[in-house]
Chains A and B, each alone.
Chain A
Amino acid sequence: MTAPLTPTAPSAVRPQGGRPLARLVRRPPAVAGALWLAFIVIASLTAPLWLPYPTEQQDFSAVLAGPSPAHWLGTDELGRDLLSRIFAAGGGTLAASTIGAVVAMLVAVPLALIAASGGERVEGVINRVTEVMLAIPAFIIMLAVIGVVGTNMPIIMAIFGFLISSGMYRVFVGAAKSLQAQLYVDAASVDGIRPVGISLKHVLPGMLNTVMVQFALVFAVAIMLQAGLAFIGFGPPIPQPSWGGMIQAASQHVYDAPWMMVPTGIVLALTVLSANVVADALAATTDVPQLQIALREPKRRMRAGASTADTQAAAGEGLRVRALAVGSEAVTLVSDVSLDVRPGRVLGLVGESGCGKTLTALSLIGLLPPGIRPQAGEVLWNGHDLTRLSEREFMRIRGREIALISQEPMRALDPMFTVGYQLGGAIRRLQKVGRAAARAEAAALLGKVGIVDAPTVLRLYPHEISGGMAQRVAIALALAGRPRLLVADEPTTALDVTVQAEILDLLRSIIADTGMSMVLVTHDFGVVADICDDVVVMYAGEVVESGSVHSVLEGPQHPYAMALLAADPHAGVEAESQRLASIPGQVPQPKDWPDGCRFADRCRFSTEACRRPIALTPRRSAEGEVRCIRSAELTAAGVTWAAAPAGVEPERVRIEPERVGAAEAAQAPTRRAEPEEARL
């Protein structure tokens, strides 16, 4: 893998700050540093053409002389011209330093990419190996190597580069991992790009700046190291000039000819300083994205007996989830989720944060976070159980049959590439068509998602388009493989409300045109009411109520669903209400989930009987299911979850179960039916 150091690579970097070269130009010290480096490289390489004296020529008439017209930079103790010797020594020093830096990058960059994409175990192994390498005293190793191969600087510097690469790896792996966690990496894997391709196309370009910074720093360290080695006598053999050797010689005459130290010292110091200044300038604008909670591709283990061969088993059309449980080895995060999505239907998964709605949705497309896996149940897609697919098998379904739209449209797009490149690439991969056909299809797709000026938008980079436009492009990307099921995770949450309305209209018309189905994850009941046919309300990793949108939203039967709807300020029908209904306390953490009803501790209507495990039962006089033993009697009594009176802290609102009737009587206006006290 030689890509990291090719000179053309930096041009692929296109963050907001502009190209690296442009950023360098805005910093005068960096410009000076770069100019000095360029000068020293050119002067050293062309030294044989212009040097005033051969390096070994001695002028005994001017021993230890200062600057003069004959010797511009003076002479050394044997009357040799310092200018000639400095630049004659430059070529070898710079070349050997470059070798060291190149070797360090060639080892560290691939290791970092492999560690970031290979999962915890691979990363662990690489980490241990590099830790051992870091513990080896590099300088002693190099002295030992000199003992064996002599003072062959290119070889010594190559070994130095190898030894220092473990330190570089530490720097790179952090950057690589944060890039790997980006949602656009997810999107790429949804599109079916293989891990190596993702590393090279999405991760490596983002790291290039960091790599260039480290390259410059290692280069500077290598120059210092060579000077140091020459100073203690391990430089090139004696008559041959070297910067370290010349400084060593000058140090002998520091009292009788102090000038001798100056030219070599300044050249060495300026060169090292320049490399550092250039590195600083590059580093100042490095834009490594923040490390975030990774939603990256899990390392899915092939299950024993996994098979997708039974194509005849295609029993049901559409999506059918049965008793799905999802979790890590330590804790179950989603349990007993069952749902059905028939073609052309939209199912809403709704609940507060931490209720498991996103994990449920991600398990439909095989993109659960690392360490989290389906534990039980099945996800049947046209009769095949998706939980049993290997990663390779899933790649044939992802993007082609099931596609994902994520919450942050901007992060689903790689900032390094144009919209047209990303969309065209996805179409070529998923539809197996040529470049020109893909280009035309990309423009057609953008037209389909309501972008008027498609040819212009195709040429833009993601940061040049608005959030609403980006979500349209992300939807176009999801449609590139002509999927039959769209998994949309909070697709409008990050958007303004007018843009949200447009995106929902767009999704509605796409579903009407294509007959595909959609699973929509949201916390907003308004969005559910707008676009969904059916809804599943989740709480603490369980389904608490499901049914058609009309019947659940207009007549919720689970106390949690009642409470959430009453707490929604958008629902405010009774206009002058001074307070909103609220639920006391917080959603419990997975480790605190009780065996019985998980809402019981926050529920106004809970009884001792709620402490036992509770199954889903059919809803009273409506289709769908509800997980509450009291829902039938509460519904029959027309009880609602009303706002607590002012001054009563929500945390302290506890209505004893036997007092439900009395409490409701005190809040008579909220009744929707005649109370049936006897039944409570």
Chain B
Amino acid sequence: MTIQKAPAAAPAATETAPALRVRDLVVRYGRGRRAAAEPAVNGVTFDIASGETVGLVGESGSGKTTIGKAILGLQRVTEGSVQYRGRDITHASLGERRDLGGELRAVFQDPYSSFNPRRTIGASLIEPLRLRGVSRADAVGRARSMLERVGLPADAVDRYPRQFSGGQRQRIAVARALICDPSLVVCDEAVSALDLSTQAQVLNLLADLRDERGLSYLFIAHDIAVVRFLAQRVLVLYRGQVMESGPAAGVTDAPKHPYTQALTAASPVPRPTEQAERRARREVLVVGGASAAAPTSVGCPYAARCPLATELCRTERPALRPIDDRLVACHYAS
């Protein structure tokens, strides 16, 4: 557990540095006069320790995917810094990122569009290894053993993506992410497109691989229950800002921020009696609906929807402050 430390503590490239250190990350789409008024990501700070899984939860437009892209170098960072094991990679080029040794990898959402339909699975899998100078025979051998590790037959290397189902392709995507021994994997909605039973298979696989290899995950998802299963620590995002962060079980079971409360209360459970009780509780709690939300520029981003909002919330943005074992950005949370 590494709740953020003071940003000033300049880290040396040592073994004790966290796997990932993100400081005051700001991402603003567009440039110059075309820049968006509201940043997609607005001052997000967090660490991921070695072997730790941090979940990013939020609804559409919360900036969670943008954070993942910024870390992977797919999105230009406006302000702030991203350090990977003590090395600043905020503005690292793709070539410099390759020199990291393939230690920062990703699994994306759509299992259908993430593989080139005209190349075999093997060709897609060995590509990162070949770029790093691994001989062809060795690379194919590693691809075969990696496929077996994710529960697919080794001869899948000679087959094409269309010959696999969505769940199988997502396993292949996991194999591709892990084939060059990464220490951090960004999983962006990695199981969202899968059916329940295959989603469970892939989640179990990710958990097993983490325990086996000491992997760190940045696990991005809109579904707080999925995040709770895999992550030790959770950041809840709203309009590009962290509303609440802390241990996954605590944040999901006893949320302190009104937005986290709304999010967990709205997520239905498959037990009718319990769900009826939850709904009754939610009807008391929620006043302002999502459709009533209007952007606020100065105050708390959630104020327009928050049933507890006061004049203070609309005029002053609450800072993240420690409450018990977590950080909460709310004037009134306790």
CB atoms of B290 and A529 under 8 A apart: no
A643 to B205, CA, bound (A): 13
CB atoms of B270 and A529 under 8 A apart: yes
CB atoms of A529 and B271 under 8 A apart: yes
Q: Which residues of chain B (77-104) have a CB below 8 Å from chain A?
A: none
Beta-carbon nearest neighbor of B167 in chain A: A586
Q: How far is the CB of A181 from chain B (nearest CB, A)?
A: 18
Q: How far is the CB of B131 from chain A (nearest CB, A)?
A: 30
A317 sits at the interface (CB 8 A): no
A13 sits at the interface (CB 8 A): no
Q: Which residues of A contact B253 (CB under 8 A)?
A: 575
A499 to B292, CA, bound (A): 11
CB atoms of B198 and A553 under 8 A apart: no
Known: A553-B271, A582-B201. A530 touches B196 (CB 8 A): no
CB atoms of A649 and B268 under 8 A apart: no
Query: Of the 9-residue stretches A188-196, A253-261, A520-528, which lies at the interface with chain B?
Result: A520-528
B168 sits at the interface (CB 8 A): yes
Query: Of the 9-residue stretches A159-167, A307-315, A559-567, A616-624, which lies at the interface with chain B?
Result: A559-567
Q: Which residues of B contact A8 (CB under 8 A)?
A: none
B269's partner among A570, A582, A583 (CB-CB below 8 A) is A570
Beta-carbon nearest neighbor of B197 in chain A: A583
Contact with A along B116-145 (1 / 0, CB 8 A): 000000000000000000000000000000
A569 to B201, CA, bound (A): 12
Q: Which residues of B contact A505 (CB under 8 A)?
A: 279, 283
CB atoms of A352 and B195 under 8 A apart: yes
CB atoms of A569 and B269 under 8 A apart: no
Beta-carbon nearest neighbor of B148 in chain A: A649
B225's partner among A450, A570, A646, A649 (CB-CB below 8 A) is A570
A210 to B279, CA, bound (A): 50
CB atoms of B228 and A569 under 8 A apart: yes
Query: Of the 9-residue stretches B18-26, B29-37, B172-180, B259-267, which lies at the interface with chain A?
Result: B259-267
A571 sits at the interface (CB 8 A): yes
When A and B form their complex, what is the total count of cross-chain residue pairs whose Cβ atoms lie within 8 Å?
A: 145
Known: A352-B197, A529-B275. A586 touches B168 (CB 8 A): yes
CB atoms of A554 and B226 under 8 A apart: no
Q: Which residues of B contact A450 (CB under 8 A)?
A: 289, 291
Q: Which residues of A contact B166 (CB under 8 A)?
A: 353
Contact with B along A423-460 (1 / 0, CB 8 A): 00000000000000000000000000011100000000
A578 sits at the interface (CB 8 A): yes
B310 sits at the interface (CB 8 A): no
B267's partner among A467, A526, A553, A644 (CB-CB below 8 A) is A526
CB atoms of A352 and B208 under 8 A apart: no
A469's partner among B167, B199, B268, B291 (CB-CB below 8 A) is B291
Q: Which residues of A contact B266 (CB under 8 A)?
A: 497-498, 500-501
Q: Which residues of chain A (610-664) have a CB below 8 Å from chain B?
A: 643-644, 646-647, 649-651
B59 sits at the interface (CB 8 A): yes
Beta-carbon nearest neighbor of A554 in chain B: B271
A572 sits at the interface (CB 8 A): yes
B200 sits at the interface (CB 8 A): yes
Beta-carbon nearest neighbor of A552 in chain B: B272
B151's partner among A500, A501, A651 (CB-CB below 8 A) is A651
CB atoms of A579 and B270 under 8 A apart: no
Q: How far is the CB of B85 from chain A (nearest CB, A)?
A: 27
Beta-carbon nearest neighbor of A451 in chain B: B291
Q: How far is the CB of B4 from chain A (nearest CB, A)?
A: 26
B334 sits at the interface (CB 8 A): no
CB atoms of B290 and A499 under 8 A apart: yes
CB atoms of A497 and B267 under 8 A apart: yes
Q: How far is the CB of B234 from chain A (nearest CB, A)?
A: 14
A580 sits at the interface (CB 8 A): yes
CB atoms of B291 and A553 under 8 A apart: no
B229 sits at the interface (CB 8 A): yes
Among A352, A451, A469, A644, chain B packs the most CB atoms within 10 A around the CB of: A352
CB atoms of A568 and B196 under 8 A apart: yes
CB atoms of B290 and A502 under 8 A apart: yes
A305 to B216, CA, bound (A): 67
CB atoms of B229 and A586 under 8 A apart: no
Among B197, B249, B273, B286, chain A packs the most CB atoms within 10 A around the CB of: B197
CB atoms of B267 and A571 under 8 A apart: no
The interface on chain A, measured as residues whose beta carbon lies within 8 A of the other chain's beta carbons, has a size of 58
CB atoms of B197 and A466 under 8 A apart: no
CB atoms of A498 and B263 under 8 A apart: yes
B207 sits at the interface (CB 8 A): yes
CB atoms of A523 and B59 under 8 A apart: no
Beta-carbon nearest neighbor of B229 in chain A: A569
Q: How far is the CB of B18 from chain A (nearest CB, A)?
A: 24
Q: Which residues of A contact B199 (CB under 8 A)?
A: 567, 569
A550 sits at the interface (CB 8 A): yes
Contact with A along B188-204 (1 / 0, CB 8 A): 00000001111111011
A567 to B198, CA, bound (A): 9
CB atoms of B275 and A582 under 8 A apart: no
Q: Which residues of chain A (317-353) have a CB below 8 Å from chain B?
A: 352-353
A468 to B290, CA, bound (A): 8
Contact with B along A461-499 (1 / 0, CB 8 A): 000001111001000000000000000000000001111
A643 to B275, CA, bound (A): 24
B270's partner among A353, A469, A525 (CB-CB below 8 A) is A525
Q: How far is the CB of A587 from chain B (nearest CB, A)?
A: 8
Q: How far is the CB of A98 from chain B (nearest CB, A)?
A: 40
Beta-carbon nearest neighbor of A354 in chain B: B195
CB atoms of A501 and B203 under 8 A apart: no
B331 sits at the interface (CB 8 A): no
Q: Which residues of A contact B223 (CB under 8 A)?
A: 497, 569
CB atoms of B204 and A650 under 8 A apart: yes
CB atoms of B270 and A501 under 8 A apart: no
CB atoms of B291 and A571 under 8 A apart: no
A461 to B298, CA, bound (A): 30
Q: Which residues of A contact B207 (CB under 8 A)?
A: 578-579, 646
A572's partner among B167, B222, B229, B279 (CB-CB below 8 A) is B229
CB atoms of B282 and A501 under 8 A apart: yes
CB atoms of B291 and A650 under 8 A apart: no
CB atoms of A580 and B200 under 8 A apart: yes
A550's partner among B168, B225, B273 (CB-CB below 8 A) is B273
CB atoms of A502 and B291 under 8 A apart: yes
A530 to B151, CA, bound (A): 35
CB atoms of B196 and A523 under 8 A apart: yes
CB atoms of A554 and B269 under 8 A apart: no
B181 sits at the interface (CB 8 A): no
Q: Which residues of B contact A469 (CB under 8 A)?
A: 291
B14 sits at the interface (CB 8 A): no
CB atoms of B275 and A526 under 8 A apart: yes
Q: Which residues of B contact A567 (CB under 8 A)?
A: 196-197, 199-200
A179 sits at the interface (CB 8 A): no
Known: A452-B292, A549-B272, A650-B204. A569 touches B168 (CB 8 A): no
Q: Which residues of B contact A452 (CB under 8 A)?
A: 292
CB atoms of B273 and A496 under 8 A apart: no
CB atoms of A650 and B268 under 8 A apart: no
Beta-carbon nearest neighbor of A551 in chain B: B272
Contact with A along B223-255 (1 / 0, CB 8 A): 111101100000000000000000001000100
Q: What are 26 A-B pairs with beta-carbon distances under 8 A? A: A352-B198, A353-B195, A450-B289, A450-B291, A451-B291, A468-B291, A469-B291, A498-B263, A499-B59, A499-B291, A500-B268, A501-B268, A504-B268, A505-B279, A523-B195, A550-B273, A553-B271, A563-B197, A564-B196, A565-B270, A567-B200, A569-B229, A579-B204, A580-B203, A583-B200, A584-B201
The 4 closest A-B pairs by CB, nearest first: A526-B268, A525-B270, A582-B200, A567-B200
Please report B residues at the A interface, Cβ cutoff 8 Å: 59-60, 151, 165-168, 195-201, 203-204, 207-208, 211, 222-226, 228-229, 249, 253, 262-263, 265-275, 279, 282-283, 286, 289-292
Contacts A497-B59, A581-B200 given; 16 further ones with Cβ under 8 A?
Answer: A468-B290, A496-B60, A496-B222, A497-B222, A498-B266, A500-B266, A526-B269, A550-B273, A553-B272, A569-B228, A575-B249, A582-B198, A582-B200, A646-B208, A650-B151, A650-B204
